[in-house]
Structure 1
Amino acid sequence: MPDYSYLLDGRPDVLTPSEVAQLFNIRPRSLHRGEWDNVLKPFRTPGGARRYPKEHIATLLNQPDDCASADLSDT
């Protein structure tokens, strides 16, 4: 299985919804839907913005395609 964590090289330890959406080729609003909460729970900054830990994104990037595509559908 390929290692896609190189896509996170040079990125900060936490990612914005837009950054995560770009990595998975989905719309940012898809991250705010309920199905994502079961896959990856973001934390909130003191100002209320969502942020996603880099290590959790790396785990998702390296899941087999059949698992990731079921959880990350943009429909």
Structure 2
Amino acid sequence: MHEDPPRDTAERNVRMGCGTLLGLFIAGLIGFQTYPSWTSWAMICIVSVVICAWLAVRFGDGFWYKALELLRWW
């Protein structure tokens, strides 16, 4: 992935919001396949949201190309 820093606050917020949605989607996939306890599922949600939002802001389009490539199986 190549670094594509956000150009302004609005773009950073959009990237962070979309990364958050992807993180919740991934947490849902993990949670519904493994059936963890509620506290474990909350931790999965928090960790996946933080990681996806950070990667989306940090790497921009490169992150989305890689994420779509990895989610192509679904």
- TM-score w.r.t. structure 2 length? 0.35
Q: Which has the higher contact order (CA 8 A, sep 6+)?
A: 2
Q: Which structure's residues are more often strand, by fraction? A: 1
Q: TM-score, normalised by structure 1?
A: 0.35
Structure label with greater radius of gyration: 2
